[in-house]
Structure 1
Amino acid sequence: MAGASFLSRNSRNKMYKFLFSSPAPHSKLLKLWHSTLSSLVGDKNLILMGPPGSGKTSVGRILGQRLGCHSIDVDDDVLEKDWSQSVSSKLQEVGDEQFLEEEGRALLKFTASGSVISLTGSNPLHASSMEHIKKNSIVVYLDVSSLDIVERLERMKVDRIVGQKSGASIGDILQKRKHFYKKWHDLRVLCQAGDTLETVADKVIDAVKKYQNADTDTFTSTRSEGSEDHAVKPDSKFFSDVVIEGLAGDGGLYVPTSGLPKLTAGEWKRLVKSSYVDRAQVILERCIHPADIPPVILGEIIEKAYSENFACGKIAPVRHLSGNQFILELFHGPTASFKDLALQFMPHLFAYCIPKVCNYLILVATSGDTGSAVLDGFSRLSDLDRKRVAVFCLYPENGISQVQKSQIIACQGDNGLALGVKSDFDFCQTAIKEIFSNPHYTGFLTAEYGTSLTTANSINWARLLPQVVYHASAYLDLVEQGVVCFGDPVDVCIPTGNFGNILAAYYAKQMGIPFRKFICASNQNHVLTDFIKTGQYDLRGRDLLPSYSPAIDILKSSNLERYLHFISNQDGSLVKKLYSQLQKDGHFQLPDHLLRCLQNDMVGAWCSETDCLSAIRSVHSATGYIVDTHTAVAKVVADRVQDRTCPVIISCTAHYSKFAPAILEALRIEDVKQSPLSQLHVLNSFRPLPPAHKSLLTRLKKEDSCKSHVCEADSNLIMEHVENYLQKLFLRAGTH
């Protein structure tokens, strides 16, 4: 009947012949497919799920032929046989709500094995029937855009689908149903407007192959000297392993053995109109094997991370600044820095991956923003998880802004402690690495307190991976805004000290985002930009200089190691040699061929303290917008090195309130009290853009009720503080 969501077999065949043009496979090819794919699913069912009009039935038939197994259409082969009447007649007879109930009950009576099953568009709305049919099955979600579905249904003169109440559009119903598809799928296949049925079937088979071969999604250390053979070895690490361990046993950093997956241009275009949450889900599903984190769990984690915790619904919006420069606002999270984009996500991921019988202590060093973001993120775990997962944070006592320090102290909670160290960030980071590389100490903590150590610094792959999402999302936002068409080049300029943020942008390019140049912006501690220009990483005679942009006051850039591993074609021996030389002699020289690769990707420059303040003042004068000190560094560098032939996205890594004294100085506002709250109130009185950060203000008001802890720059003293903290948190093993 016109207006029903269910079409007869002949109608569906006509629709798909009309919408898809796909030649029938040659008979010899069919035999080859049968021989190679017949064992792909074995006795399991392959279930195709998706909205009406997504091609489930026709794709199911093709897959049945290729796999040499039965293809079952729930409409024709289950419902109509069970009811002894057509689906459209049943719908007319009982109405939408009763129809959905009876549809679910009919599916509960159905059993099959080794078959390709095409569900109806509304089957996923019935929980018990989906639980029943999902047993011994792999559920593949044919994710077709709602616009394409509406267009297809309009061509077939279908103007209503099941569950569509008066006043609601088909698009509204399709949007609501996405929640149910996300709940049940094991695999997602992104379908594009130009895909043929054969293409969709190919995508399904590729996705199922990857799903079935979980052991191929391994990670290696950047310093691994193994052979080039990427076969699985006894010591292979998987995603959940690297989340828990953080740092590799040989001192290197974990990276995917086969690199990051690449999305096609068409798949990226599918995400242009999507929300940040939906973009994150698709990107992270590709990067995390479902054997480690099933999509439904991953979806729940993403929702927890990016729902009510961010002040802006777009999470990481892109705003035009001036000319061809755009600002990527990364400060809308609860602690007002870009670290929230990863650290609202990572703790829930970590809690899911770790064994349930062990306590974990997260050791983290911060150059300013990471500390409060880690403490806040892990404080949002469930009550049960907070009893077994705690954070111990080191920060340079005099090396971060007063607001940052106040915020870190205020973010301490029942599972988080911060310790100020009378040294710089590099010492804090080195102390963390020394603790991890001390087997006697770590073994003692495990034996005495049942506690394992790990880290949440950007050396942990789970910290770095979510950052890829916001760089990709920024480019998609420019496409959505009509600034560029997908495929047009865009440069990115990122203030960086530890190389993690700029590396995440580089990884986004490896996944298919057409970034052109990566502009590395440094302050007066410009070891990175010197390295980009000369290929020599040289720490000899360098002292860390305090600056207005403390989060990039770093001399030893940990994540650079991952980049060098990538451009050297995974030459772990070379990476190990370079970093051994850096540790021993304080410098290393990049081979010429790798320097050429580096300079093809990157360009770098640095900004003086005077120019940093001048940029804050000039941007505010010209636009009314206030940038923080790190973003000012990036703005200065972008102005100097970009060639203006394409847009440039400048990462705004923190809210200006975190660096209020410098902002007030830059804007030439004098006679302000020293307390952070007083400074913020003065800034807010100017009604600035962007507006005040409410979460930051609320947190700072809490600081007076929290205790600060400080110690000398001595690794042994730090280890004592760690053990004392564990004594308060966790009982010694064997005690009651």
Structure 2
Amino acid sequence: MNFRSTRSDECVSPSYALLHGLAADGGLYVPESFPEKVLSYKELAGKSYQEIAEAVLSHFFTNFTAEERKQMIASAYNDMTFRDDRIVPLHSIDTDLSIAELFHGRTLAFKDLALSLFPYLLTAAKKQEKEDRDILILTATSGDTGKAALEGFKDVAGTNIMVFYPSEGVSPMQKQQMQKQEGNNVKVSAIYGNFDDAQSFLKRVFTSAEVNAYANDKGVLFSSANSINIGRLFPQVAYYVSTYVSLVDNGAISEGETFDVIVPTGNFGNILAGYFAKKMGVPIGKLICASNQNKVLADFFETGVYDMNRDFYTTSSPSMDILLSSNFERFLFYVAKEDAAKVAQWEKDLLETGKMSVSADELKTLRQEFEGGWIDDDETKAVINHVYNDFGYLLDPHTAVAYGVGMNRHRQGLDEGRHTVIMATAHPYKFPPVICEALALRQSDDPFDMLADISSVTGIALPKPLADLKDKPIRFSDSIDKEDMKKAVLSFVDAIAAKH
């Protein structure tokens, strides 16, 4: 399996795509020939999460042997990295609704499911490519990717990682997780700006000949841990496949029965993995893209117009505070029937005008598989309150957005009677101020005080990763102007070179 760019006929090996992240023309890597209809319940029944991951990844990372893949998967998914041996357990709300819990990893977010495996994939790719430069992972985060990437790559030999996050755009707990990160090869900085600013800058770094030449002279190669990298994206397909197997095993649906999936969506990587699972044979009906007030994606699925020329909102679901969804380009590649020139033009339109649109026929086709919906902050908190008081289940604000969109669809008769799965993307304890407000508990400047109150009311114990965090010292408290990000990266490059 080779990978091609979404914008041209550039074609590379999986190991090259893993190392470099972004295509030379600025496009994203997609499979040269997508493996369609290759998975079935009969072949997957009775398999563990690890075995399902191998069944999925064997179609994409063909540069590794089956034994190599299995060893990497075993290292990524075990009782040291995930608190539940099922990796992605299902919670049933009622007969027609299940919640896939993606937050049982080391940092309590769905990003752990890919970023526990990605360091092994990258290290193996580096060896395969005979790459002797140090890798510098550059990552922008809207909250969860940063900590999961830092945790995955800390102290990995030959690899360094630098994370940028919006200073006022993450939860207090997400900020503490990053500021207190351990490891001798990590660097974290807040920026005065939003996630889109950080993400756009890093994309310019990856495509800057000047910056790359400077890094190369210092013996450093840039790579990415955002979901633009295939090592982040394709491991996520596995949890949609395992969810389907669990639904059948639990009797929620029968073999081959169609079910819908609602995904709280910001950067479009999570829901894109669901789309890929569907292409591989999982009987997903509709993929519902759930947005907060930054509803550029929900509007697109309604109108066919992607328009970034709008106000940016800082919301109670910060990981979705995004207007430029980086993985959306991969989706457009398939909307365009793999026409790279068309995708390149759409991306040019977005860059130059902040806006692009698909045709009426293209919109009609994509709406057979995708729909969008959104709710605001007040509705999000009301959903958290409702689900906790009616079902005794505590949602984080992102999952609450998905739940609220699902409630609205049900009221409008849009769910067509199919079983629905909500992808729960984070543990609620990562967002104590929002949870306290939703449950009418006192606010505090100390997030750990709020968590103690939430725990005393709900009986949900403080997860060990957060309990351990409380007494750790802050290591990274810098906040810089977004215009200084290049200087910060080059300074870290110098520091890496100085080690040698």
- Does the alignment reach a TM-score above 0.5? yes
What residue number does 2:27 align with?
A: 252
Residue 289 (structure 2) pairs with residue 505 (structure 1): no
Equivalent position of 1:674 in the other structure: 445
**C-alpha distance after superposition, 1:663-708 (max 9, x if no partner):** 00000012x431122121221222445x432112213431x24232
- State the Cα deviation string for residues 542-590 of structure 1 (Å, max 9, x = none): 1210000000000011111111101221111111111101111111111
Aligned partner (choices 217, 221, 234) of residue 5 of structure 2: 221
Cα distance in 1, alignment partners of residues 148 and 36 from structure 2: 28
The SS at the match of 1:685 is helix
SS at match of 2:260: strand
- AA paired with 1:302? I
2:496 match? 729
Q: TM-score, normalised by structure 2?
A: 0.96
Counterpart residue number, 1:329? 101
Q: Name the counterpart of 1:426.
A: 196
* Aligned mates of 2:3, 2:17 — CA distance in 1: 8
Contact 1:529–1:604, Cα closer than 8 Å, also in 2: yes
1:348-372 C-alpha deviation (Å, 9 max, x unpaired): 1101111352111000000110000
Match of 2:427 in 1: 655
Q: Given the superposition, is the C-alpha separation of residues 286 and 316 from structure 1 closer, same or farther in structure 2, using an over 3 Å criterion?
A: same
Matched residues in 1 for 2:89 and 2:469: separation?
23
3-state SS, counterpart of residue 453 of structure 2: helix
1:552/1:609 CA distance change after superposition, 3 Å: same
> What are the equivalent positions in structure 2 for 1:395-474 lying under 5 Å apart?
395-447=165-217, 449-474=218-243
Does the 8 A contact of 2:188 with 2:476 survive in 1? no
Match of 1:285 among 46, 50, 58: 58
Query: 2:336 matched to which residue of 1?
Result: 568
Q: Which residue of 2 aligns with 1:579?
A: 347
**Mapping of 1:186-197 within 5 angstroms?**
none
Give SS of 1:686's match: helix
Which segments of 5 or more consecutive residues in structure 2 lack a partner in the other structure?
A: none
For each residue in 1:67-90, what CA deviation from the matched residue of structure 2 results, as whole angstroms up to 9, or x when unmatched?
Answer: xxxxxxxxxxxxxxxxxxxxxxxx
Superposed CA offset, 1:506-548 (max 9, x none) = 10001100000001100000000000000011112x1210000
Q: Deviations over 1:110-163 (max 9, x none)?
A: xxxxxxxxxxxxxxxxxxxxxxxxxxxxxxxxxxxxxxxxxxxxxxxxxxxxxx
| Residues 373-419 of structure 1: CA deviation (Å, up to 9, x unaligned) | 000001263xxx2xx20001010011111111111112242111111
**Where do residues 604-643 of structure 1 align in structure 2 (5 Å cutoff)?**
604-642=372-410, 643=415
Aligned AA (2:6): T
Distance in 2 between the 1:486 and 1:288 partners?
Answer: 28
Q: Is 1:261–1:286's contact at 8 Å kept on the other side of the alignment?
A: no
Q: What pairs with 1:222-371 in structure 2 (closer than 5 Å)? A: 222-224=6-8, 226=9, 236-265=11-40, 268-289=41-62, 292-307=63-78, 308-354=80-126, 355-371=130-146
Shift of 1:607: 0.5
Code of the aligned partner of 1:326:
S
Distance in structure 2 (CA, Å) of the matches to 1:403 and 1:547: 15
CA shift digits 1:635-676 (9 cap, x unpaired): 000111242511100010000011110000000012x43112
Q: Partner amino acid for 1:695?
A: P
Worse-superposed segment, 613-622 or 274-283: 274-283
Shift of 1:441: 1.2
* Structure 1 letter corresponding to 2:22: L
Residue 534 of structure 1 corresponds to which residue in structure 2? 303
C-alpha displacement of 1:710: 1.3
Q: How far apart, CA to CA, are the structure 2 residues paired with 1:589 and 1:277?
A: 40
Compared CA separation, residues 593 and 220, structure 1 to 2 (3 A):
same
Q: Is 2:487 the counterpart of 1:720?
A: yes
Check whether the contact 2:5–2:11 (CA below 8 A) recurs between aligned residues.
no
Amino acid at match of 1:652: A
Greater Cα shift, 427-436 or 636-645: 636-645
Task: Map 1:10-25 onto structure 2 (within 5 A).
Answer: none
3-state SS of the aligned residue for 1:418? Answer: strand
Secondary structure, in 3 states, of the residue corresponding to 2:457? coil
Quick one: structure 1 residues 554 and 705, their matched pair in 2 at CA, closer, same or farther if it must change by over 3 Å?
A: closer
AA aligned opposite 2:31: P
Q: 1:595 aligns with which of 363, 367, 376?
A: 363
Give the secondary structure class of the aligned counterpart of 1:471.
helix
Q: Deviations over 1:405-442 (max 9, x none)?
A: 11111224211111100000000000101111210111
* SS of equivalent to 2:449: helix
**Are 2:155 and 2:185, in contact at CA under 8 Å, matched by a contact in 1?**
no
**Counterpart code for 1:641:** R
CA distance in 1, matches of 2:311, 2:117: 35
Q: Which amino acid aligns with 1:583?
A: L
For residues 483-515 of structure 1, the C-alpha deviation after alignment (integer angstroms, 9 at most, x for no partner) is 111110100000001111101001000110000
For 1:433 and 1:236, the matched residues in 2 are separated by 20
Larger-gyration structure (1/2): 1
Q: Secondary structure at the match of 2:239?
A: helix
The answer (yes or no) to whether the contact 1:625–1:688 under 8 Å persists in 2 is: no
Distance 2:465 2:60 in 1: 31
- Preserved contact between residue 412 and residue 418 of structure 1 (Cα < 8 Å): no
Q: What is the CA distance between 1:286 and its match in structure 2? A: 2.5
Q: CA deviation at 1:256?
A: 0.4
Deviation at 1:459?
0.6
Residues 8-46 of structure 1, C-alpha deviations (whole Å, 9 max, x = no match): xxxxxxxxxxxxxxxxxxxxxxxxxxxxxxxxxxxxxxx
Taking structure 1 as the reference length, the TM-score comes to 0.65
- Paired residues of 1:324 and 1:644 also in contact (CA < 8 A): no
Higher relative contact order (CA 8 A, sep 6+): 2
Q: Distance in 2 between matches of 1:437 and 1:336?
A: 32
Q: 1:373 is aligned with what amino acid? A: A
Distance 2:76 2:170 in 1: 26
Answer yes or no: is the 8 Å Cα contact 1:565–1:572 preserved in 2.
Answer: yes
Decide whether the 8 Å contact of 1:392 with 1:417 is kept in 2: yes
Asked whether the 8 Å contact 2:146–2:163 carries over to 1, the reply is yes
Q: Write the deviation string for residues 309-353 of structure 1: whole angstroms up to 9, x where unpaired.
A: 101110011110134111110110000000000000001110111
CA drift of 1:263 comes to 2.0
Cα offset for 1:264? 4.5
Classify 1:380/1:688 alpha carbon distance in 2 versus 1 (closer, same or farther; 3 Å): farther
For structure 1, the 5+ residue unaligned runs are 1-216, 227-234
